[in-house]
Structure 1
Amino acid sequence: MNHETNNYVTNNYGSAAIVNGGRSNTVHYSPDDAQLRVAVKQLTDSLAELRRHLTPEQDRAVEESLPALIPDRAVLRERGGVLENITRIATAVGAVGQPVEAAVAYLRGLLGAG
């Protein structure tokens, strides 16, 4: 979820009060959203471990993908190409990339894109 104020955007997760044009709305996330947050964290943690095994070009591609990895179903579905690129990189490095491949597969399953 994004919160925009004075041209600044902040991502908020969990229960949050969102102020929009002077109106305040409280948003509560479902257990499915908690699963999504855990899945995104698992993927980013796995990527952190993988990065030391990557070529500079692969590492740069992973670095560029990180901002898209937020626990927002609509954003992740829209940016599905990012998950495909991460999977290609993980597959290219062999066995060391398997945790990332598994994390992407799990995340895609949660998104209904498995």
Structure 2
Amino acid sequence: MSGDNYYFGDSVTMKNGRENIGMVKNTGPAATDPELRSAMTELTTQLRHLRAEVSPLGAQTIDESLPVLAPDAVVQPQVRTRALMAIAGVAATAGALGAPIVEAVNRILQLLGAQ
């Protein structure tokens, strides 16, 4: 497998000062897809409101998930998906109050191609 290229994070290609393509920002779909960015922003706002209405353990799950769910967070897709699933579980226990959050999580999972 010698010669295979794998890119994680930012990438810069320089060719003796010519044909330089500059820096490629590999920050994932959250940074590039406006619909996903908007959905993530809306979800984090909803989670901040839900936090006050759930158990201490539910609030802790929200607190741990918020940094991963920030629209500008650079995380692996599996990490973001796990956080979304945890949030959906907390929201489901909140009944009608959590229903919009479960819907928002499902929408984001579809945008990420995880559902």
**What range describes the TM-score normalised by the shorter chain of this pair?**
0.5 to 0.7
Long gaps (5+) in structure 2 = 1-8, 13-19
> Number of residues paired by the alignment?
96
In the alignment, which residue of structure 2 is the partner of 1:111? Answer: 112
C-alpha RMSD over aligned residues: 3.2
Name the SS for the 1:54 alignment partner: coil
Question: Percent identical across equivalent pairs?
Answer: 33
Give the whole-Å Cα distance in 1 for the aligned partners of 2:74 and 2:23: 20
Larger radius of gyration: 2
Long gaps (5+) in structure 1 = 4-17
Equivalences for residues 49-68 of structure 1 within 5 A: 49-68=49-68
In the alignment, which residue of structure 2 is the partner of 1:40? Answer: 40
Give the whole-Å Cα distance in 2 for the aligned partners of 1:81 and 1:59: 16
Amino acid at match of 1:77: P
Amino acid at match of 1:55: S
**Hey, which bits of structure 1, 4+ residues long, moved more than 4 A?**
none
TM-score (normalizing by structure 1): 0.68
Confirm or deny: 8 A CA contact 1:73 1:111 kept in the other structure: no
Confirm or deny: 8 A CA contact 2:44 2:70 kept in the other structure: no
Q: Does 1:95 align with 2:96?
A: yes
Displacement of 1:26? 6.9
TM-score (normalizing by structure 2): 0.67
Give the whole-Å Cα distance in 2 for the aligned partners of 1:76 and 1:99: 25
Give the whole-Å Cα distance in 2 for the aligned partners of 1:47 and 1:60: 12
